[in-house]
Amino acid sequence: MDLLKNIVSQFTTEGEVISAQPFGSGHINDSYLVITFPESAPDYVLQRINHHIFNNVHELTCNILKVTGHIGQKLLTMSPGLHGFEVIHLIGTTEGGFYFHDQDGNYWRMYNHVRGSRSYDKVISASLASEGGKAFGIFQHLTSDMDASTLFEVLPDFHNIAPRLAKFRELVTDDPAKRVNDAESEIAFIESRAEEMHTILRLGELGQIPVRVTHNDTKFNNILFTPDNKAVSVVDLDTVMPGYILYDFGDAIRTGASTAAEDEADLSRVNIDLTLFEAYAGGYLGIARNFLTAIEIDHLAFSAKFMTYIIGLRFLTDHLDGDHYYKTGFPGHNLQRARTQFRLLQSMEQHFDEMQMIIRKFK
C-alpha cells in the first residue's frame, strides 16, 4: 500500500488515498482501484503496464491521448451526450507527462474511475448484451472519422492470422516445453480450420474492408455499466490501433455471447447463446450499420468464429511455449482456455446459419 501510495503521489490526483486494491481480471497488466477521501474526490484506476509486451509505452500513451481526446471533444459538441456515454481519461503526472517510469523500470499510469460504474465477467441478460453492443458501436462511431494511420501500431500484426500460425507451427516443431504430445487433438483442430481463417486477412489485403480505428480487445468485461446497467464507457485502450472492425465485433461475441467463462473446464457448458448474440448484434448494429460497409456486415457472424479461433490459438501457443505471455492461475490453464475456445467455436459452427440470419435482420 505504501508503495502504491508513493506511485499515486507522482500523479496530479485529488483527495487522499484511503485504499488501493487489485482490480479487474486482465491477463496482462496489473490494475488497482484507488479510492480517495473525501467522497467528492474522484476515484482512480492505477495500472502497471506490462512493458515486456507493450514495449513502446510512449507511443501507446500517445495513441490513448489521441483517441480519448477525439472522443471527448466529440461528446462535448454532439447531441447531449450519446446515450450518456463517457470517455475515460489519463491523469497527468506531476512532471507533466502521462506515465511514470519508476526506479525498478516499471511503467505506471492512472485513469479516472467512472463513478459508480462496474463491469461484468459474465453477461446476465439480453438487455446487458444489447447495451454492450451499443457501447462498442458508439466507440467506433465516435472514432470513425479519425485517420487510423495517425495511430501507432502498438502490437504489430496483433490479429494477423498468418504470423500467429507461423509462430504456432514453429513451436509445434521445436516443442520447447515438451507439451506437444498432450495437445495433439488441439493442434489438429487448429490445422483443420487454418485455411478458412485467412478470410478476413484476404479481404483486407484485397482492399475490400477498410482499415479503421479499432479497440482490439473488446472483451465484454472491458465495457463499463452504470448501477442500472446502462453502458457508460469502454476501457482497456492499450491496443487501440489501426485494424479491421470485424476483430472488435468478433471478440465481443466470443466473450459476451458465450454461456460460460473463457476458461470453463466443463466443456458441456460452453455454447454460443443466440439470444445474447442477437441482443449484442442488435445493440451494435443499431449504431454501426450507419457507417459499416456491406462487406463488413456480411462477415460479422464469421468474425465471431475467427476471434474465437485466434484467441484459442494464442492460448494454445502460450501453452506450448511454457506459459510466458498470459498470467495463469494453475498448470495447464492456457490449455484449458484453448479447449474452451475450441468448444465455443464448434458451437458457433453448429449455429452459423442462425447467426447469419440474425445479422441479416439488422442490416
Q: Give which of ligand GN1, Mg ion, none residue 289 binds (C-beta under 5 to 8 Å, depending on kind).
A: none
Q: What is the distance between the alpha carbons of residues 14 and 213, in angstroms, rounded to a whole number?
A: 32
Q: How far apart are CA 183 and CA 336, in angstroms?
A: 11
Given a contact cutoff of 8 angstroms between Cβ atoms, the answer to whether 23 and 45 are in contact is yes
74 vs 63: CA distance, rounded Å: 17
User: What spatial distance separates the first Cα and last Cα of the chain, rounded to whole Å?
Assistant: 51
Q: What is the CA radius of gyration of the chain?
A: 20
- Is 296 among the residues that bind Mg ion (CB under 5 A)? no
Query: For ligand GN1, which is the closer residue by CB, 27 or 101?
Result: 27
For 333, phi then psi, to 5°, come to -60, -45
In the complex with Mg ion, which residue's Cβ is closer, 278 or 323? Answer: 323
Give the one residue of 47, 143, 233, 239 binding ligand GN1; rule: CB under 6 A: 239
User: Which residue, 17 or 260, is less far from ligand GN1 as judged by CB?
Assistant: 260
Among 8, 28, 64, 190, binds ligand GN1 (CB under 6 A): 28
By beta-carbon proximity to ligand GN1, the closer residue of 236 and 296 is 236
Asked if 91 touches ligand GN1 (CB under 6 A), the answer is no
Cell numbers 492460448 correspond to 315
**Binding pattern for the stretch 166-205 against Mg ion, x by CB under 5 A and - elsewhere:** ----------------------------------------
User: Considering the complex, what minimum distance in angstroms separates the CB of residue 222 from ligand GN1?
Assistant: 7
The reply on whether position 236 binds Mg ion by CB under 5 A is: yes
> Which CB sits closer to ligand GN1, 239 or 303?
239
Which CB atom, from 17 or from 238, has the smaller least distance to ligand GN1? 238
Sheet bearing 100-101, strands edge to edge: 16-22, 30-37, 44-49, 107-112, 100-101
**What is the spatial distance between Cα 94 and Cα 102, in angstroms, rounded to a whole number?**
14
Tell me how far apart the alpha carbons of residues 69 and 200 are, in angstroms, rounded to a whole number. Answer: 30
Q: How far is CA 8 from the centre of its chain?
A: 26
Helix, strand, or coil (residue 19): strand
d(CA 342, CA 348): 10
Cell (9 digits) for 182: 498432450
Asked whether position 321 contacts ligand GN1 by CB under 6 A, the answer is no
Using the minimum distance from each CB to Mg ion, give the nearer residue, 215 or 305: 215
51 near ligand GN1, rule: CB under 6 A: no
Q: Which residues are CB-contacts of 264 (< 8 A; sequence separation ≥ 6)?
A: 270, 340
124 and 130 Cβ atoms separated by less than 8 Å: no
Q: Is 311 in the site for ligand GN1 (CB under 6 A)?
A: yes
Which of the listed partners (Mg ion, ligand GN1, none) does 262 bind, with a CB threshold of 5 to 8 Å by partner kind? ligand GN1
Using CB under 6 A, which of the segments 21-29, 194-202, 295-303, 339-347 binds ligand GN1?
Answer: 21-29
Query: Residue 216 CB, nearest distance to ligand GN1 (Å)?
Result: 7
Among 43, 131, 186, 217, the residue binding Mg ion under the rule CB under 5 A is 217
Which is nearer to Mg ion, 217 or 296 (by Cβ)? 217
Least Å from the CB of residue 305 to ligand GN1: 15
Smallest gap from residue 215 Cβ to ligand GN1 (A): 11
Peptide bond into 331 cis (omega under 30): no
Looking at residue 168, its amino acid is F
The window from 20-28, 84-92, 172-180, 295-303 that contacts ligand GN1 (CB under 6 A) reads 20-28
Backbone angles phi, psi at 317, to 5 degrees: -60, -45
Binding site for ligand GN1 (CB under 6 A): 26-28, 53, 217, 219, 236, 239, 262, 311
Binding site for Mg ion (CB under 5 A): 217, 236
